Structure 1
């Protein structure tokens, strides 16, 4: 019973609880926490049995897992690094905004929008 209490205590130290409307996300976070704690307990036991060295702390162990998991599926780069520079992506050409002609712009007539009592939809009879 002592290991269950120890595991619960270690899970509560670095809890990744998250509120969600989807029922499975908090459950998934709890399963990840349990698996990390169990892996750390096993690592700590094996480290003491094999080489009598001081094991990593729980926080360091969790952070190493967090940094290594996103890189897990990527293949390792092989060969010598390329000496050629990486080509920069081409900049997007911004389209020019159509402006009014100069005679309309400077004709001293206020071109304001016309406000009408129109409904939300053109197609509905109630409008």
Structure 2
């Protein structure tokens, strides 16, 4: 099963974890879409700067700190993902509550570790 994933907080900077995540998702044959502040491409994945209404999204993996997540709460809910992953540094109890209210499961985990251990 393909777990189409949105990397929210994607970066063109090759030293950023969101950049590593895009590369690792692509290398694991996971359909990947990305949103970030600067447009460009990482591993042939276009980083969009508009909040597009992606269809059939399985996972949103967060690479934004809690303060920067606030602007995207409604967007995340509108996508109706099957799960949201809070990577290290993105933990956000306020968003946990919003996700629970909207019946969207979430995990406090690391996308890179999940992929490396075949638990994605």
TM-score by length of 2: 0.22
> Which has more strand, going by share of residues?
2
Higher relative contact order structure (alpha carbons within 8 Å, sequence separation ≥ 6): 2
TM-score by length of 1: 0.22
The structure number with the bigger radius of gyration is 1
